[in-house]
Amino acid sequence: MKTIILNFEQKEPNLEELIQEALNHDFLDIIVSKDTFQEFSQIEGLKIYSKDLTLPINNLICSDIDEVKRFKSKNEANPSKIGIYRELVTKEDENIIIGLAETNLLDFIIVSAKDWKVIPYENLIAAMHSSNINLIAEVYSIKEAELMLNVLEMGVDGILYAPKDVDELEELKKFYRPNLKINLTNAKVIDIQNIPESARVCVDTTSILEVGEGMLIGSTAKGFALIHAEVFDTKFISSRPFRVNAGDVSAYILVPSGGSQKYRTKYLSELKGGDQVLIINKDGLTRVVTVARVKIEIRPMLRFELVSSVEDSPVTMSVICQNAETIRLVDKNGKAVSVVTIKKGDEILVHIGPGATHYGVPLEEKIIEK
9-44 pLDDT, tens digit per residue, is 999 999 999 999 898 877 889 999 999 999 998 888
Mark residue 216 as left, alpha or beta (left: phi above 0; alpha: psi -120 to 50; beta: remaining): beta
Residue 226: per-residue pLDDT: 98
Domain coordinates of the chain in residue numbers? Answer: 3-173, 185-362
- Determine the Cα–Cα distance for residues 131 and 30; give it in Å rounded to an integer: 24
DSSP state for residue 189 in the 8-state scheme: E
Dihedral in degrees, nearest 10, Cα atoms 200, 217, 323, 190 = -140
DSSP 105-167: --SEEEEE-SS--HHHHHHHHHHHTTSS-EEEEE-SSHHHHHHHTTTTTT--SEEEE--SSHH
168 pLDDT above the threshold of 50: yes
For 133-142, the pLDDT digits (tens) are 999 999 999 9
Cβ–Cβ < 8 Å for 307, 188: yes
User: What pLDDT score does 217 carry?
Assistant: 97
pLDDT bracket for residue 360 (50, 70, 90): very low
State which fold the 3-173 domain adopts. Answer: TIM Barrel (3.20.20)
Q: What is the dihedral of CA 110, 116, 120, 121, to 10 degrees?
A: 50
Q: Please enumerate in sequence order all residues whose Cβ is within 8 A of that of 282, keeping only pairs 6 or more positions apart, or say none.
A: 184, 212, 213, 226, 330, 334, 349
70 DSSP assignment: H
Mean pLDDT, the chain, integer: 88
Is the confidence at residue 111, as pLDDT, over 80? yes
- Taking only the tens place, the pLDDT of each residue in 230-273 is 999 888 888 999 999 999 999 999 998 754 467 889 999 999 99
**DSSP characters over 248-262:** ETT-EEEEE-SSSSS
Sign for the pseudo-dihedral over CA of 191, 192, 196, 200:
positive
Distance CA 28, CA 22 (A): 8
For residue 59, the model assigns a pLDDT of 92
Return d(Cα 347, Cα 310) in angstroms, integer: 16
- Mean pLDDT across the stretch 166-185? 80
* Confidence class for position 171, pLDDT limits 50, 70, 90: confident
| pLDDT tens sequence across 340-350 | 999 999 999 99
| Single-letter amino acid code for the residue at 189 | V
What Å distances lie between residue 30 and 23, 47, 51, 162, CA to CA?
11, 6, 12, 10
The two counts, helices (H) then strands (E), for the chain are 7, 22
Query: Rounded to the nearest 10 degrees, how much is the dihedral formed by the CA atoms of 232, 233, 238, 242?
Result: 20
Cα within 13 Å of Cα(17), Cβ side: 10
Q: Is the pLDDT of residue 357 over 90?
A: no
Which SS3 state, helix, strand or coil, does residue 321 take?
strand
Q: According to the model, what pLDDT value does residue 368 have?
A: 61
CA distance linking residue 162 with residue 139, whole number of Å: 8
Q: Are 287 and 279 in contact (CB under 8 A)?
A: yes
Q: Please state, in angstroms and rounded to a whole number, the distance separating the CA atoms of residues 44 and 351.
A: 37
SS3 295: strand
pLDDT at 159: 92
- What pLDDT score does 295 carry? 96
Burial of residue 337, with CB atoms counted within 10 A of its CB: 0-12 exposed, 13-18 middle, 19 or more buried? middle
So what's the pLDDT on residue 152?
62
Task: Read off the pLDDT of residues 179-207 as tens digits, 9 standing for 90 and up.
Answer: 678 999 999 999 999 999 999 999 999 88
Strands 185-205, 286-310: parallel, antiparallel or unpaired by DSSP? antiparallel
As a residue count, the chain comes to 370
pLDDT above 70: residue 363: no
Question: What's residue 243's pLDDT?
Answer: 97
